[in-house]
Amino acid sequence: MEYALSFSLNGKPVQVAVKANSSLLDVLRNQLFVTSPKKSCDTGDCGACAVLIDGEAVNSCITLALTVEGKKVTTVEGLGEGNQIHPLQQAFHEHYAAQCGFCTPGVILVAKALLDKNPKPTREEVTQAISGNLCRCTGYVKIIDAIMAVAEANK
Amino acid sequence: MGVVVGKRIPRYDGLQHVTGRTQFVDDVSYPNMLWVKAYRSPVVKGEILNVDVSQAEKTPGVAAVLTAKDVPANQYGFSNDQPVLAEKGVRFKGEAIVAVAAVDEDTAQEAVEKIRVDFKEETPVFDPIEAMKPDTPRVRPEGNLWMFGEVPYRRIRLGDVEKGFKEADVIVEEVYRTQNQDHAQLEGQVSVARLEANGVITINSVSQCPFLHQLQLAGILKVPLNRLKFIGGTVGGGFGSKNDMHADHITSLLALKTGKPVKWRWTREEEFLASTVQGAWIMEYKDGVKKDGRIVARKIRAIRDAGAYGSLNPYVVDKHCFLVCGPYAIPNVWIDGYCVFTNKQVSSSMRGFGITPASFSNEVQMDKIAEAVGKDPWEIRFINAVRDGDITATRKTLESVALIETMKEAAKAAGIQLPDHLMAMSSEKKEV
Amino acid sequence: MKKRGKGIASIFYPTGMSGGGDPSNALIKMKLDGTIDLMVGSIDIGQGCKTVLAQLAAEELGLAMEQVTVINDNTDSCPMDTGTFASRVTHSMGNAVVMAARELRQEILELAAADLKTSPVNLTIENGEVKIKQSPDKKISLADLAGKATFGMGKILAGRGGYVKAPTAKDEETGACNPFATAAYATTIAEVEVDTETGQVEVLQLISVYDVGKAINPMLCEGQIDGGSVMGLGMALMENLNPYYPGIDFQPTSFADYMIPVSKDTGKIIAKIIERPSTTSLYGTKGIGEMTANSEAPAIVNAVYNAIGVRITDLPITPEKIIRGLEEK
């Protein structure tokens, strides 16, 4: 049994038929072919699948797809203006905050949710904000540097 | 510094990463693609008496069920001792016995749950120390110890270790242990295989070493290398977790059997329970030290918990033994390194191989030695440090040595003032 | 009570597979406009080998990074590499890439010498142009040269490179052998705070100095040290697949019970690089990819001893081991 689901994905309306038990992550990846949110743990422990729902960072692997009816979902595909990438993406690139790149889309979205609410966070606030995102490559050092570089520009 | 070399140039693929456009294996999908789930052994050790896949095959949406008899050469791996799918028996909990390809993951899982396997359970062996004893049940028919030539341990012999102990003023002994570790790379094991019209199988692979896996897979399928094209090159974290082939053989076999593209993505639970890991170590040290802090003799018995199959374990033990003395010039050395099989998931490569545990044991032992002879931990390292032209325990001559230089820089970075006689030392020349 | 301590660890690590016999091959071909395709079978697992290998090719051929295309994505197009492990790629494949670039460079210089009516030894390549060193206004662009070679002579401008550390002979009785090309060195200083009531260990700071031989890209070297520091911290304090070792009961099955460090666990990470070039690499490089996770656990253990006088000999350091150690004192 499938149900009709309508929501806004990266600023565009989408309609898709989903099973009641489908996760938002599976619908994004397998039905809408939006592949930047990654399936790494599928239990809400790692943050690689994080997306923004009405501006809040959420692990999409433990979010039922049907719960985003009428809401705004954002993935990194929806960041930036035209050909211009988002300042966070630019900072992640310049500061070498992405090594293997697998956790990167999720961390960038969590950072965006933080900066949208708190444009001038302290290093401790940034560290706290991304503590739900596992990264095995970077030791988080250059990730935090990159987010702080954007935060500093806001000051 | 060069024009480009030595510069802080951002990643070649950095923009791909930050925009989420890097294509990882799990991002690849094809029309009509099948999904795989595996039946894994619920028992730790036992004989397989019967495998009944009849109900799984009848499940609507199932395209193929793969068992050992479908594998042309059911033996592979770096030690060439692992079955692709277990046939006669299982050696660890989670060992794969059957693989199912179906229209989606749920259907494949439903079919897996209908598989019935009868086992004659046997007593497992978990403790490597127990496994080394002659009367302990065998993990594998060849015995619980890997043979290094004629003996069941890697030997390193330099100088005369007993003479060294006699010359020593102090003997420092300790037993060190390191744990089993998971790589915990964020991208798990995943594979997509597709059969082309000309008989070539293209495999989207997370392999860290596709050319070695191409050779292994050619052996399993009994096909020439030019029928196997591995696609990859950009991997979501490795740390040694993707040096062993975990999924590409199964997807390739199922692509051949069904003619359709096949994807297998392991769950994180499978990753923890059934993938290769860094095996645990037990390292027994006996050091002979002079009052001035110089180490004159070292004897080590090192034991690697290899888990159920060989894989890279013998290599890991070799590497451990070659360098377990650490970056110190020790004239008399005796090392026996054992590779011991137990009924655990397979140990293999992880970042640092056998040297990670060696670095741990060795450096904690250095502090213990320092205390035993009443010296500062820095002093003990400086006076034993290898320099240019020194040899290792395997008589390898070292060049471009920099241990002393890293110590001096680290002290400086930490604001630690080292004594002048240490700061005057260098790797290039020894004091008269 | 909270007590602080410092500990050190000094280590080395071999570059390349122990035992040798692990080849790396590289191919470079020039396109019609003077840009190049660099074909290597090395896998980028996040460490950044595509970047480093492109830098080496660009340096040798006087090109900008944007003029190098790295092709490492399939086993049909790329020549053989043993793989991305054993800290081998920058050293081993780096040597192969430099050799391939030098073969191509020589071919370019010979063609340009004929065109500019001089000897190859008088020429240099800068910014995509081959110039006479003494009179740099006499020059030909790589684009023109590649076009002339292709359309005028039917020639492919290409270079091949191959490196292998020869397999070592080994004496079975003594283990005597020459197993690796070179080794890198490192020292880590850990500073910890131990809570003597709870047994909790907090790592306040990890200062690491790594000898990389030659840093092709210092930012990427630092990235390895940063990441390795935190993986080493995980080994020291958290990670354990068999909490009831040697048994397998209660084996973790998710990130909720197999703990790896998160951003709040790391303390301050300081990564420094020194360079003592290896004689076995054309650029002096060594591999530090793996060893960066080796120096932290012993440094942390030694720091804990320095703080509270309890020497942990089996990893990981759990609060239980700390408390038991304090009780036994």
Inter-chain CB proximity B267 and A103 less than 8 Å: no
CA distance A60 to chain B (A): 16
Neighbours of chain B (3+ CB pairs under 8 A): A, C
Query: In chain C, which residues have their Cβ closer than 8 Å to the Cβ of B378?
Result: 8
Asked if pLDDT for residue B402 goes beyond 60, the answer is yes
For residue A122, what are the CA distances in angstroms to A18, A87, A97?
41, 18, 18
Query: In chain B, which residues have their Cβ closer than 8 Å to the Cβ of C59?
Result: 2-5
* C237 contacts: CB under 8 Å, gap ≥ 6: C201, C203, C261, C265, C300, C316, C317
pLDDT of residue C326: 98
* Rounded CA separation A35/C229 (Å): 30
Inter-chain CB proximity A140 and C263 less than 8 Å: yes
Complex ipTM: 0.98
Q: Average model confidence (pLDDT) for chain B?
A: 97
* Rounded CA separation C206/C183 (Å): 22
Query: In chain B, which residues have their Cβ closer than 8 Å to the Cβ of C94?
Result: none
3-class secondary structure, B1: coil
CA atoms lying within 13 Å on the CB side of residue C23: 8
Nearest chain A Cα to C266, which residue? A139
List the one residue out of B222, B46, B60, B69 whose CA is nearest residue B121. B46
pLDDT tens profile B175-202: 999 999 999 999 999 999 999 999 999 9
Inter-chain CB proximity A40 and B17 less than 8 Å: no
Query: In chain B, which residues have their Cβ closer than 8 Å to the Cβ of C7?
Result: 367, 377
DSSP B264: E
Cis ω for the linkage preceding C316 (within 30 of 0): yes
Percent pLDDT > 70 in chain B is 100
CB pairs under 8 A between B and C: 364
**Residue B27 at interface with chain A, using a CB cutoff of 8 Å:** yes
CA atoms lying within 13 Å on the CB side of residue B271: 24
How far is Cα of residue C144 from the mean position of the Cα atoms in its chain?
36
Residue type, B80: N
Choose the closest CB to C305 out of B229, B367, B411.
B367
Nearest chain A Cα to B182, which residue? A136
CA distance A131 to chain C (A): 5
Asked if pLDDT for residue B1 goes beyond 70, the answer is no
Q: Which domains does chain A have, with CATH numbers?
A: 2-78 (3.10.20.30), 87-154 (1.10.150.120)
For residue B114, what are the CA distances in angstroms to A51, B109, C207?
36, 9, 55
Size of chain C, expressed as the number of residues it contains: 329
pLDDT tens profile A51-82: 999 999 999 999 999 999 999 999 999 999 98
Choose the closest CB to C46 out of A127, A137, A142.
A137
Of the pLDDT bands very low, low, confident and very high (cuts 50, 70, 90), residue B432 is low
Q: Which domains does chain C have, with CATH numbers?
A: 2-15+181-328 (3.30.365.10), 24-163 (3.30.365.10)
DSSP C218: H
- Note which residues in 108-147 of chain A have CB less than 8 A from chain B: 108, 134-137
Nearest chain A Cα to B22, which residue? A101
B332-341 and C158-163 beta bridge pairing:
unpaired
B76's enclosing H/E stretch is none
Nearest chain A Cα to B31, which residue? A30
**Residue B224 at interface with chain C, using a CB cutoff of 8 Å:** no
Inter-chain CB proximity B6 and C216 less than 8 Å: yes
* Rounded CA separation B252/A132 (Å): 36
Inter-chain CB proximity C254 and A134 less than 8 Å: no
CA dihedral A90, A94, A99, A103 (to 10 degrees): -30
Q: Where are the beta strands (DSSP E) in chain C?
A: 2-15, 24-30, 36-40, 68-71, 123-126, 129-132, 139-141, 158-163, 182-195, 201-211, 268-274
C305 phi-psi bin (left φ>0, alpha ψ -120 to 50, beta other): alpha
pLDDT of residue B317: 98
List the one residue out of C223, B407, B95, B282 whose CA is nearest residue A139. C223
* Rounded CA separation B327/C295 (Å): 12
**Residue A20 at interface with chain B, using a CB cutoff of 8 Å:** no
**Residue C1 at interface with chain B, using a CB cutoff of 8 Å:** no
* Rounded CA separation A50/A133 (Å): 9
* Rounded CA separation B25/A100 (Å): 13
* B278 contacts: CB under 8 Å, gap ≥ 6: B180, B181, B182, B183, B240, B347, B350, B352, B356
C319's enclosing H/E stretch is helix C319-328
Inter-chain CB proximity B26 and A38 less than 8 Å: yes
* Rounded CA separation A147/A143 (Å): 6
Per DSSP, the residues of B272-294 read: HHHS-BBPPEEEEEEEEE-TTS-
pLDDT tens profile B28-65: 999 999 999 999 999 999 999 999 999 999 999 999 99
- Note which residues in 104-133 of chain C have CB less than 8 A from chain B: none
Give me the tens of pLDDT residue by residue for chain C, a chain 329 residues long: 999 999 999 999 999 999 999 999 999 999 999 999 999 999 999 999 999 999 999 999 999 999 999 999 999 999 999 999 999 999 999 999 999 999 999 999 999 999 999 999 999 999 999 999 999 899 999 999 999 999 999 999 999 999 999 999 999 999 999 999 999 999 999 999 999 999 999 999 999 999 999 999 999 999 999 999 999 999 999 999 999 999 999 999 999 999 999 999 999 999 999 999 999 999 999 999 999 999 999 999 999 999 999 999 999 999 999 999 999 98
**Residue B239 at interface with chain A, using a CB cutoff of 8 Å:** yes
Whether the CB-CB separation of A2 and A31 falls below 8 Å is answered with no
* Rounded CA separation A143/A150 (Å): 11
pLDDT tens profile A14-38: 999 999 999 999 999 999 999 999 9
How far is Cα of residue B332 from the mean position of the Cα atoms in its chain?
29
Query: In chain B, which residues have their Cβ closer than 8 Å to the Cβ of A80?
Result: 19
Inter-chain CB proximity B13 and A101 less than 8 Å: yes
* Rounded CA separation B203/B191 (Å): 7
Whether the CB-CB separation of C21 and C27 falls below 8 Å is answered with no
B316's enclosing H/E stretch is helix B313-323
Choose the closest CB to A85 out of B19, B183, B187.
B19
Structure token pair of residue C204: 């306040």
pLDDT of residue B152: 98
Q: How many helices (H) and strands (E) does chain B have?
A: 13, 15
* B412 contacts: CB under 8 Å, gap ≥ 6: none
Handedness of CA C53, C285, C271, B319 (dihedral sign): positive
Whether the CB-CB separation of C248 and B43 falls below 8 Å is answered with no
**Residue A14 at interface with chain B, using a CB cutoff of 8 Å:** no
Identify the residue among C263, C265, C295, C296 best suited for mutation to test binding to A, counting A beta carbons within 10 A and taking the highest: C263
Percent pLDDT > 90 in chain B is 99
How far is Cα of residue C232 from the mean position of the Cα atoms in its chain?
17
Neighbours of chain A (3+ CB pairs under 8 A): B, C
3-class secondary structure, A41: coil
**Residue B106 at interface with chain A, using a CB cutoff of 8 Å:** no
List the one residue out of C287, C179, C239, C49 whose CA is nearest residue B183. C239
Interhelix angle C296-308/C319-328, nearest 10 degrees: 40
pLDDT tens profile B309-324: 999 999 999 999 999 9
Structure token pair of residue B98: 């059957």
Size of chain B, expressed as the number of residues it contains: 432
Nearest chain A Cα to C271, which residue? A141
Residues of C labelled as active-site residues: 290
Nearest chain B Cα to C235, which residue? B181
Q: Which residue in this structure is represented by tokens 């081993």? A: C92
For residue C55, what are the CA distances in angstroms to B8, C40, C69, C95, C247?
10, 13, 11, 12, 48
* Rounded CA separation A124/A84 (Å): 29
